[in-house]
Structure 1
Amino acid sequence: MDLHRVLPELRRPMTRAQIRLPRWFVRIAVRLLRVPTSDVVRVRTARTGSTSVRVYEPMGPRSGAGLLWIHGGGLLFGDAKQDEALCLSTAERLGLVIVSANYRFAPEHPFPAAHEDVQRAWRWFLDHAEALGVDPRRIAVGGESAGAGLAAALVQRLHDDGGFQPRGQWLFAPMLDDRTAARRELDAEKHFVWDNARNREGWSGYLGTAPGAETGPEYAVPARRTDLSGLPPAFITWGDIELFAAEDHAYAAALGAAGVPVTADIVDGAPHGFENWAKDTPAARALVERAQDWLRATLHD
């Protein structure tokens, strides 16, 4: 892919995001990240079963709403800590309590492991909502990349299971469709930051088989669901030059066709996940602010 297609302010930070490291190294490095701190948001960890959650509690006024957040990492690696800046900013600006879920990784733990882990985090949030000062009817589910795909699948599962439903789904560059990974012609595009070879590795490990099969396990691949009616309003954002652009556009359109209110925010010249690895750029700050404004309006009592 031609570098000139990338928004100029994103080119320099992208060079760091482009570095390819072994999966085992990334898993260790992410967990050792030095994270920002806040004087107005208390951060703690809790356990639910074999997994952990990171809890962000504003020390000032609270809105009574909450967000279950799910980090990215291609289904292969990652940690709740990697989104510390976004979670702190959102908790502070919107007065939200945020529960950020960790989960098991492929290929060691294929589907449904990660799906079950984030579902467990949702139940933990509901069980502790009263103590956290959160109305269980005012919790959104969100995530980035693979985490956004897990969020979309969780929303589908919760719809089918009944009970308390998420108020909205907040999806940043979601990884939604294994059939993209099966399209070998996309390999030649060499998309920045996350390309189709890495995408295939993630989906293959998660599904335990080659991506693109005629059918797959229910809730494993959000884009394969045919009936999207009744799902909560969605904010979906992606970069126009990233690998997931086509599948994200298709999912947003399918949600809209099913009667689900959708806000699609497409950023020109933005590679995958730029709001994370280029979080201090004007483009990233502007996107996060628009997303937070949507979340505030959606969770308004």
Structure 2
Amino acid sequence: MGRVSVVGDRVLRGPHGDLPVRVYEPAAGVERVAGLVWAHGGAFMHGDLDMPESDWVARSLAADGVVVVSVDYQLAPELDYREPAAPQAAGGARFPVASEEVTFAYGWARDAGLGVGPERWSLGGASAGGNLAAGASLRLRDAGGPRPRSVVLAYPVAHYELPAAGPELAAKIAALPPERDFPPEAMRAMGANYLGRSDLPISPYAHPGGQDLRGLPPTFVVTSDHDALRSSGEAYCAELAAAGVDVVLVREDGTYHGHLNEPETAGAARSIARIADWLTTDRTETEAAAR
């Protein structure tokens, strides 16, 4: 693994005011083989550019030749989603703010002259950030502009209502301690807090699961093994495949939700290696379609 030579903070003029991003560039002499715009997780209301799921992921990928632009999107107000009866907090930024900011950051990075050709930029995120990245890929498709080379999602929440878990996953969820579980009512509270409402219909850009996914870029999804959100990642992959999208799904054995926030674990190391391999592997047909 190489070194990261440049880590720089910038503030963009985003669609909703100042938008901080952090750019990670490979060391001198390391070929810049790909670019990635990345969004951290945190239930839409937590997280920052310093958390491992943002900083460690970006540094690890940059050491392998990937220029990473990590997005400090605006957060929804804090809510105890494990207490669904709690009133929604005031303030914060609700949908579509973060979704539009991640979309904007992709367009900026693609044209920013960071040493990676515009056709080699991918879009990705973890958990809630995976939701934002998937939604942004829909926005970019519908806008008719150049699509990302690929989409990379780590344990994403793609659906407002979690799809039903199969017996194998249900048994693992039942064994989770309460602090690691995400029961349906908690996910509904989290989603409603992000949207600012709980009524339907939901914009396809807010929760892309179950929407028209035709024409999206090749997608790589890694899920956590012992994780209620795994049902969403698996269902989203099935929906992508049914829509004719090339998709790769990996269940990271022995891991829990958010395992990229635990860089000292074997599961996190395996996942970051898988993501790096996906981003740096040549896919000529994909790049031609992105032009």
Confirm or deny a common fold (TM above 0.5): yes
- Over 3 Å counting, the alpha-carbon distance change for 1:299 and 1:145 in structure 2 is farther
Match of 2:257 in 1: 272
What is the alpha-carbon distance in structure 1 between the residues aligned to residue 120 and residue 283 of structure 2? Answer: 6
Q: Once the 2 structures are TM-superposed, how far is the Cα of residue 297 of structure 1 from its aligned partner?
A: 1.2
Q: Are 1:45 and 2:33 an aligned pair?
A: no
Q: Which runs of 5+ in 2 are unaligned?
A: 78-91
| Equivalence for 1:77 | 46
Q: 2:107 matched to 1:123?
A: yes
The separation in 2 between residues aligned to 1:71 and 1:40, in whole angstroms, is: 19
TM-score (norm 1): 0.78
Task: Tell me whether 1:239 sits opposite 2:203 in the alignment.
Answer: no
> When the two structures are aligned, how many residues end up with a matched partner?
255
Tell me the TM-score normalized by structure 2: 0.80
Output the CA distance in 1 between the equivalents of 2:278 and 2:33.
Answer: 16
| Per-residue deviation, residues 2-53 of structure 1 (Å, max 9, x unmatched) | xxxxxxxxxxxxxxxxxxxxxxxxxxxxxxxxxxxx9533101111121100
Q: Residue deviations 1:158-209, cap 9 Å, x none?
A: 01112221000110000111112999xx998766535235533421111111
Residue 199 (structure 2) pairs with residue 229 (structure 1): no
Q: Which amino acid letter does the alignment assign opposite residue 84 of structure 1?
A: D
CA positional deviation for 1:133: 1.2
**Which residue in the other structure is 1:11 paired with?**
none
2-side partners of 1:194 and 1:299: how far apart?
Answer: 37
Check whether the contact 2:121–2:148 (CA below 8 A) recurs between aligned residues: yes
The letter of the residue matching 1:45 is D
Match status 1:90 vs 2:61: yes
Q: Give yes or no for contact 2:254–2:267 (8 Å, CA) kept in 1.
A: no
Identity percentage over the alignment?
36
Q: Secondary structure at the match of 1:195?
A: coil
User: Which region of structure 1 is more displaced relative to structure 2, 64-73 or 143-152?
Assistant: 64-73
Q: CA deviation at 1:280?
A: 1.2
User: Which of 171, 193, 196 matches 1:208?
Assistant: 196
Separation (CA, whole Å) in 2 of partners of 1:139 and 1:87: 14
Q: 2: CA distance between counterparts of 1:298 and 1:194?
A: 38
Shift of 1:123: 2.3
The two structures, once aligned, show a CA RMSD in angstroms of: 2.5
- Report what 2:81 is aligned to: none
**What SS does structure 1 have at the residue aligned with 2:161?**
helix
| CA distance in 2 between partners of 1:203 and 1:193 (Å) | 18
Q: CA deviation at 1:298?
A: 5.2
Q: Which runs of 5+ in 1 are unaligned?
A: 1-37
Q: Secondary structure at the match of 1:252?
A: helix
User: Are 1:182 and 1:200, in contact at CA under 8 Å, matched by a contact in 2?
Assistant: no
CA contact (8 A) 1:56 1:98 kept: yes
* Partner of residue 193 from structure 1, selected from 168, 180, 185: 180
In structure 2, relative to structure 1, the CA distance for the partners of 1:64 and 1:220 (3 Å cut) is: same
Which residue is equivalent to 2:23?
Answer: 55
- The structure whose residues are more often strand, as a share, is 2
Q: Distance in 1 between matches of 2:157 and 2:237?
A: 13
Contact 1:48 1:120 in 2 (8 A): no
**C-alpha distance 286-126 of structure 1, shift in aligned 2 (>3 A):** closer
Partner of residue 105, structure 1: 75
Structure 1 equivalent of residue 203 of structure 2: 217
| SS in structure 2 of the partner of residue 157 of structure 1 | helix
Change (3 A) 1:151 1:191: farther
**Structure 1 counterpart of 2:192, one-letter code:** S
Query: Per the alignment, do residues 127 and 109 of structure 1 end up closer, same or farther by CA in structure 2, a change over 3 Å counting?
Result: same
Distance apart, 1:214 and its partner CA: 4.3
Q: Distance in 1 between matches of 2:145 and 2:62?
A: 25
Which has the larger helix fraction? 1
Paired residue type of 2:45 = L
